[in-house]
Structure 1
Amino acid sequence: MRSIELFAGAGGLALGCERAGFRPELVVEWDKWACDTIRENKAAGHPLVSTWAVHQGDVREVDWNAYANDIALISGGPPCQPFSLGGKSRAFDDTRNMFPAALAAIEAVRPKAFLIENVRGLARKSFADYLEYLTLRLTYMQNPAGSDWSSDLATMTQWKKFGLTEEYGVVRALVNAANYGIPQQRHRIFFVGFRNDQELNWVFPEPTHTLDALLVDQWVTGQYWDRHEVARNSVPDMPSRFRRRVDALRVTGATKGTLPWRTVRDALVGLPEAGDSPLQGYKNHVAQKGARSYPGHTGSELDLPAKALKAGSHGVPGGENMMRTGDNVVRYFTVRESARLQTFPDDYELHGSWGEAMRQLGNAVPVELARKIAESVYSHLSMNRDRVSEGNEKVLV
C-alpha cells in the first residue's frame, strides 16, 4: 500500500510503516542531517529505505494535489516543541506548530487512513481545547473559516452535536511505548483516522508488556537475572519503591498474561563496551565523555526501561541521554545504544556528530512501536479492500 511520510526526521515512523507493509511514495523532511541519514542509508543499500523518494524541504511547499485520492496512509509527527513539557509550550501560537500543515496535506490527499503522533504534553489540561479542536478538524476535514481556531472549535462542536457527516473516524490514544515492548518509557499521543468509506470499527492495539510482569521476572522468579547471567550474589538490591508491589505480586502472581517491560540491559544485549574509536561491525558505537550526575539529572536505570530520550545532548532534564550502572556510575549512551532504545535496526546508521545524531533519535518515533500500530492499520485497510473486492464479485455474478 502506498503512503506518504510527513516530518520524517531520521525515519523512525516511516521505517515502522515500511515494516508493516506500507511503501512510502514520498518522504518529506526539512532538516539536512535527517535527510542525509535517510539518503546515506539508501545509498548503502538498506532494504527498508531503498525505494524512498526523499523531499528535503517544507511540507507546506509540496503540491499535494498530485497525490490526491491515490494514497493509503499519511503518517507523520509534527514538530513537538510547541507542546513539549521541556519547551516554552506556546502551542498554537508557536511558529513551529505544523499541525495546520499536516491537516492541509491530509485534506488535499484524502488518504484512506492517517497516523499522526505527538508528545503527551499536547494532552495537558491547558491544551484540552486545542486537542479537541485538532480531533474535530481531523474528523470533519473542513475548515469552518472562523476568526481563529477557538471559534472554529465552537462551530465544529455544533457540527458534532447535530450529527454532521464525519469524513474520518478518529481514534485518539495516549500510550507508553514501554507497554508495547520498547525499552524506553516514552509517552506519546496518537491520532489514527480512517476515511468514512472504510469500516470504522478499528481499535488501538492492546498493550503487550507491563511493569508487573517485569517485577515478577526480576524479584519473584528471578528469571530475568538468569537470562542475563547475573550471579545471584551480584543481583542489585530491589528498589524500595517496588517492595510493596512485589509483595502483592508474590501472593497474586497477577500479570494479566503480559510480557515483562524490556529494560536498558535487555536492549544492549550483544553490544560490546564502546571505546574512543569505532568498532568494526558496529555503527555509531563510540563512547562520549563528559557525563555527570547531579540532583534531577541522574540518568536511566540499567534494569528498567530508559527514560524518554530527548532531542538534546548535554544538560537535558533528568539526564535522559545517560545511563546509570549498578555501581551508580553514569555515562552517556552511545548513538548505537540510543538507536537500540528507539528500536532502530543495527545496520541503520545515523549521520552527523554525536549531538546531531542524538537530536535525530530524540525526535524519532520508536520503530517497533510504529510497526505495531501501522500493522494494525494495514490489516484493517486490507480487510476493507477484501470486503470491497468480494462485493464487486457478487455484483458481477
Structure 2
Amino acid sequence: MAWEDDGLELLPEAVVPSRIPSTHPLHQPWQLTARERERYRLMAQRSREQSRRAAAGELDPLHEVNIPSLDTRDLMPRQEPNGLRALSLYSGGGGLDVSFERAGFEHVASYEILDHAAETLSRNRPEWEVHGGGDGDVHGVKWKDWRGRVDVMHGGPPCQPFSNAGRQQGHLDPRDCWPATVNAIRAIQPVAFVAENVPALASAKFADYVRDVIVEPLERSRPRYYVHRILLEAKDFGVPQVRKRVVFVGFRSKKAYDAFRNPTPTHAWNDPGSDLPATMGVRAALGLPQVEEHPDGLAPTIRSGLTGPRHTTSICNSTSAARSWAALGLWPNGVAATRQAASAFPTDTGAFRLSVADVALIQGFPPTWTWPSAVYQAVGQIGNAVPPPLGWAVAKAVTKALSKA
C-alpha cells in the first residue's frame, strides 16, 4: 500500500484491469495501477466538465482563432494530366489519393474497408468511384476485372503489424495485408505500383519478411516486377512534422525501373545554407506567434490509431512526444472539431489547443479537404495517412520514370 500525494485515497500499487471493455480484439490495454487509473479517471472527469462549459460559452478563450500561414497546396502544385490511371487500395482518408490526383493522375477507384473513411473520400470527391465497408475489403475483390484499366496501383497496407504501437507481430497479426496487396498487383498487372508503410518494415527485423512476402513473389510473377525500396521524410517535402515512411515502388519495365530516381527534397529543415525553400516550423505553419518560451520546431509524429476501448481525440503517441508537444506550446489531447471550438476551450496549461483542420495541415492535407466524421475518426484517418506532399513527390517520380520507358 502507498499514500497518494495529490488528494486521492490510499491505493494499492498492484496492476489492476480496466473496467472499460475493449472494443477491438487486438487492443492491448495499458498495465496501470489503481493509483494511476484513479488519476486518469479524475482527469477525464474534469476534462468532460471543461468541455461542457466550453460548449456553453462559460470559459474565456486563451487564444484567437488562428489563421494558418502555410497553404499545403503550395507544397504540391497541381500538375497537368499525364494520361495515367491510378487505382487506390487502403485509401483511408485519402493521403495517396490526393497525392496522385495533384500529380496529374486520373483517379479510377478507391477501396477502403472503414465506412467513415470511405465517406470522407465520397464527400470530398463525389465523382470518384469509392468502395467502402465490406465492398472495400481487399480480400474479397476480383482484381482481374481491373486488368487493362489501371496504369498505377497505390496504397498503404495497414502498418500496425510492423509498428511499435502495433507490437510488431508481422505475419502473425491478422491485419497484415501485404500478401493481399501482392496478389492484387499480380492480378491487375499495372505498369507500376506504389506501396508505403512505417520505416520499421525496412529494418533488419523484417528483412526476411520483405524478401519472402513482398519482393521475391513479385520478382517471380509473370509479368515480373522490379522493385525499389526507399526511405523518405516528410520534412524534406515541406511538411512541418517528424515523419518517416518506407515506400516500395515497382515497375513491370526494367527500363522504367532503371530510369526511376528517388524523389529529391523540395524543402530543407533548419539548414540556412540550403538553396531550397525552408520547411516551416509547426507554430509558424499554424499562424501562431513566435514566443521565446516555446521555440518553434517540427511537430512530433501524429498518432495513428483507431483501436482501443475509448474513442480518443489525442494525437500524442508517447511520453517523449508529449514533452515535445509541450515544448512547442501545443496541446495534442482533446483535438477540437473546429478552430472556433478549439479557441473556446482553453487548456489548463495555456497551450494552444489543436483542431481537426490544424492536425490535417500538420499532416500536409489541402485546406479544402474536409472531414465529415466524428473527431476521433477524423484524427485517426489523418494520422494513418501518407502526407500528401510526400506522396506527390513519389507520384511525380513514377510519372517521370514511366515517360522514359
TM-score band, normalised by shorter chain:
0.5 to 0.7
Structure 1 contact 263–305 (Cα < 8 Å) conserved: yes
Deviation at 1:136, TM superposition (A): 2.1
Q: Indicate the residue corresponding to 2:282 in structure 1.
A: 264
Structure 1 contact 182–366 (Cα < 8 Å) conserved: yes
**Relative contact order higher in (CA < 8 Å, ≥ 6 apart):** 2
Say which SS state the counterpart of residue 227 (structure 2) adopts: strand
Deviation at 1:3, TM superposition (A): 1.4
Say which SS state the counterpart of residue 116 (structure 1) adopts: strand
**Partner amino acid for 1:204?**
N
Deviation string, structure 1 residues 259-311 (Cα, Å, up to 9, x no partner): 32321023213x89xxxxxxxxxxxxxxxxxxxxxxxxxxxx76212111112
Map of 1:92-111 to 2, 5 A cutoff? 92-111=171-190
Q: Indicate the residue corresponding to 1:249 in structure 2.
A: none
Map of 1:273-312 to 2, 5 A cutoff? 303-312=296-305
Deviation at 1:166, TM superposition (A): 8.0
Name the CA shift for 1:320/1:169 in 2 (closer, same or farther; >3 Å).
farther
For residues 15 and 125 of structure 1, what CA distance do their matches in structure 2 show? 32
Q: Indicate the residue corresponding to 1:35 in structure 2.
A: 118
Q: Indicate the residue corresponding to 1:118 in structure 2.
A: 197
Q: Indicate the residue corresponding to 2:90 in structure 1.
A: 7
Structure 2 contact 186–218 (Cα < 8 Å) conserved: no
1:127 to 181, 188, 206: 206
Seq. identity, %: 33
Q: Indicate the residue corresponding to 1:288 in structure 2.
A: none
**Partner amino acid for 2:278?**
P
**Partner amino acid for 1:348?**
W
Deviation at 1:54, TM superposition (A): 3.4
Say which SS state the counterpart of residue 322 (structure 2) adopts: coil
Deviation string, structure 1 residues 12-60 (Cα, Å, up to 9, x no partner): 11110111111221100000110111112234xxxxxx33443432111
**Partner amino acid for 2:322?**
G
Map of 1:139-158 to 2, 5 A cutoff? 139-142=218-221
Deviation at 1:319, TM superposition (A): 3.2
Q: Indicate the residue corresponding to 2:155 in structure 1.
A: 76
Name the CA shift for 1:209/1:331 in 2 (closer, same or farther; >3 Å).
same
Structure 2 contact 178–214 (Cα < 8 Å) conserved: no
Q: Which runs of 4+ in 1 moved over 4 A?
A: 320-329
2:128 to 51, 56, 62: 51
* Aligned-residue CA RMSD (Å): 2.6
Q: Are positions 1:167 and 2:246 aligned together?
A: no
Structure 1 contact 171–203 (Cα < 8 Å) conserved: no
For residues 401 and 323 of structure 2, what CA distance do their matches in structure 1 show? 36
Deviation at 1:183, TM superposition (A): 1.2
Deviation at 1:326, TM superposition (A): 5.2
Q: Indicate the residue corresponding to 1:18 in structure 2.
A: 101
**Partner amino acid for 2:387?**
P
Q: Can you give the 5+ residue segments of structure 1 that lack an aligned partner in the other structure?
A: 44-49, 143-164, 217-253, 273-300, 385-397
**Partner amino acid for 1:378?**
T
Say which SS state the counterpart of residue 210 (structure 1) adopts: coil
Say which SS state the counterpart of residue 145 (structure 2) adopts: helix
2:262 to 191, 204, 209: 204
Q: Can you give the 5+ residue segments of structure 2 that lack an aligned partner in the other structure?
A: 1-83, 306-312, 331-348
For residues 353 and 53 of structure 1, what CA distance do their matches in structure 2 show? 20
Say which SS state the counterpart of residue 247 (structure 2) adopts: strand
For residues 352 and 37 of structure 1, what CA distance do their matches in structure 2 show? 7
TM-score (normalised: structure 1): 0.66
Q: Indicate the residue corresponding to 1:383 in structure 2.
A: 404
Deviation at 1:135, TM superposition (A): 4.6
For residues 364 and 342 of structure 1, what CA distance do their matches in structure 2 show? 8
Q: Indicate the residue corresponding to 2:71 in structure 1.
A: none
Name the CA shift for 1:40/1:362 in 2 (closer, same or farther; >3 Å).
same
